[in-house]
Structure 1
Amino acid sequence: MEFWQAETFNISEIDKELGWAQSIGMNCMRIYLHHAAWQQDKSGFKNRMCNVLSVAKKHGMKILFVFFDDCWNDKYAIGRQPLPRPGVHNSGWLKDPGNIVQKGGPLLDTLQAYVSDILRTFKDDKRILMWDLYNEPGQFDQHDNSRPLMKEAFGWARKINPSQPLTSGVYDDNEKAIAKFQVENSDIITYHSYDKPDVHQRRIDSLNKVSGGRPLICTEYMARKRGSTFAAILPMLKKQNIGAINWGLVDGKTQTKYAWDEKDWGNKEPAIWFHDIFRKDGVPYDSKETDLIKSLTKNKK
């Protein structure tokens, strides 16, 4: 929420951090939107999106915007957000639109207007790689309750017919109905895997069987404590020509250097970072990792 609101939007910080990403050869960034920030200030919200896209282009990057999300906190409000709880992964991360959408009412009309307005405004913008319409629908015990909104989102998007591809990432083999819809309706197959190489490869193999020749992009991976590391996963994906977008860039307010289930670190440094690449000052958490990334992206800066 703070990323997109006028009083807390910080384009100079975005510029600086995208510069760090560029220095190791990254060429794409996945960024979440939120309908409440759009609803508060529609024109300002879109102007700020333009500013982000301009800075990204300066750094040789395209953006993958995400609309809806079923992860973490269900309640949200506009304005300055609470400070993070010490040591807690994603303590301030907000769902969009949250479980309230299942009660029906005018929110669904607002969400349709939101998706339609954003897509209509940016439908031919070449700085956008694609649109991720719904991140992990069904997460946090929502299961198939999220499928109706996912279907609506794809329907709204198809009416606008943007030039950029539409997608929603497969993330859980147990959510069979959701995964089936995602595969059948995505222009590019995207997926998440925070698993070790053998398990990750099984997801790739299963998706290749139903992809119909569509490209694959892994839009979330890299959780060091689970064996999903740059060294283990990135060469494997490059060999198969699969795009790779890891979770986490800079140690910040999301506190994703702590693992999902860690609660006892407080303000202390975790023994092993879960996500993220750079410290707050731009120094790599592990220079061997950034050297590897640069070697694979052919960027020697």
Structure 2
Amino acid sequence: MKNRIGFRIKIATVVLLALVSLQTMAQQWTAQKANDWYNRQPWLVGSNYMPATAINQLEMWQAESFDPKTIDKELGYAESLGMNTMRVFLHDMVWRQDAAGFKKRIDAFLTLCANHKIKPMLVLFDSCWDPQPKPGKQHEPVLGRHNSGWVQGPGAAILSDKSQWESLRSYVKDIVSSFRTDDRILAWDIVNEPDNDNANSYGRNGSIKTELPNKAQLGAELVKAGFGWAREANPTQPITAAPWKGDWSSLEKMDDMNRFLVQNSDVITFHNYGPPAEFQKRITELKKFGRPLICTEYMARPAGSTFEGSLPIAKAEKVGMMNWGFVSGKSNTIFPWDSWQKQYTAEPPVWFHDIFRENGQPYIPAETAFIKKMTGK
């Protein structure tokens, strides 16, 4: 009898502790809290940022190649346009190499951002491009190929092995906990395009074919787990991840992942590389959820997504904006997506992404003048 009573007490204690844990873990912000937060921000305008001297996230953040001098110079270009935010990708592999050093470099980066009145959104994981990241010195860019060295994080080896996901949880909790009250950070983006199959590069239709066959399923599982891990750290900054394809006209018509994203993000982010009419349509679809909207990827000139076409709509709708690409460099994102199928040996007639040449000269002076006009700079 005593053993049974003791067992029941232990079970009750475990259940109580579990309930307390669930109650103390942060939940999704209410729409009111999210809108109050957003109303305290300026109109958010920025870019997805990678210094011209880095081919990918590893080269940006590893100790041997971290380049604060270039970062400081380029953030100065952003400040000159009136930009006040940047979307910046971290990588779990750098954390595994040297967690303490990585966090010191993040802190140094945040200080540089603050000096230029910029509050970045930090991205914890990314499902795009090379699924086989390798630490250490990175390869040189492939001539004329868009994002020829950008890497996924986590790579396929860890993404496909659930026994290693506890290390991903430790990474998220350590990074988010370390900066959970840091006013220099705008928000946390959990996973970039979790179900992107990279079909035309590393996927089934691509030239390299190293993607996982069940990538979409694993990506959806990762983003759900990632939200939970970030909530455990209870940050004061909002948490988000962006839908980027599919039907968003109603919850019923969304796929499972997109439905999860809009129902769990504190502020709703999204990607759109379409012309103005499509961009407006996406905003209309997402406004019904009653939360702030930030477009965290747009601007592909040949595809009809431009500053002149998108920024006026966004400003009128109070939608934050972060275009892809800033300074032309090792990322090769002046070249189009189809550079994985076509060979480009010279600068394309129209840049796909990016705003500045590496020497700081605007690619299109009238374009940078327009951005300044929109930001009031």
Q: Which runs of 5+ in 1 are unaligned?
A: none
Partner of 2:146: 89
Question: Deviations 1:181-229 (Å, cap 9, x if unpaired)?
Answer: 10000000000000011111111111112x2x21000000000000001
Partner of 1:163: 236
* Equivalent in 296, 319, 322 of residue 242 of structure 1: 319
Partner of 2:354: 276
* Equivalent in 299, 317, 330 of residue 222 of structure 1: 299
- Which residues in structure 2 correspond to 1:1-301 (within 5 Å)? 1-140=58-197, 142-173=215-246, 176-209=255-288, 211=289, 213-262=290-339, 263-266=342-345, 268-299=346-377
CA distance in 2, matches of 1:143, 1:44: 32
Q: Which runs of 5+ in 2 are unaligned?
A: 1-57, 200-214, 248-253
Contact preservation (8 Å) 2:92, 2:154: yes
Contact preservation (8 Å) 1:144, 1:178: no
CA distance in 2, matches of 1:298, 1:236: 16
1:239 is aligned with what amino acid? A
Q: CA deviation at 1:34?
A: 0.4
2:320 is aligned with what amino acid? G
Secondary structure of the 2:324 match is coil
Contact preservation (8 Å) 1:190, 1:217: yes
Q: CA deviation at 1:173?
A: 1.0
1:178 is aligned with what amino acid? M
Structure of larger gyration radius: 2
CA distance in 2, matches of 1:225, 1:290: 18
Contact preservation (8 Å) 1:28, 1:64: yes
Secondary structure of the 1:2 match is helix
2:164 is aligned with what amino acid? L
CA distance in 2, matches of 1:218, 1:35: 24
Q: CA deviation at 1:146?
A: 1.2
Contact preservation (8 Å) 1:130, 1:165: yes
Specify which structure has the bigger relative contact order, considering alpha-carbon pairs within 8 angstroms and separated by 6 or more residues.
2
1:17 is aligned with what amino acid? E
> Where does structure 1 differ by over 4 angstroms across 4 or more consecutive aligned residues?
none
Question: Deviations 1:28-67 (Å, cap 9, x if unpaired)?
Answer: 0110000001110111100000000000000000010001
Aligned residues: CA RMSD: 1.1
TM-score norm. by structure 2 comes to 0.77
Contact preservation (8 Å) 2:273, 2:303: yes
Secondary structure of the 1:30 match is strand
2:144 is aligned with what amino acid? G
Q: CA deviation at 1:102?
A: 4.3
TM-score norm. by structure 1 comes to 0.96
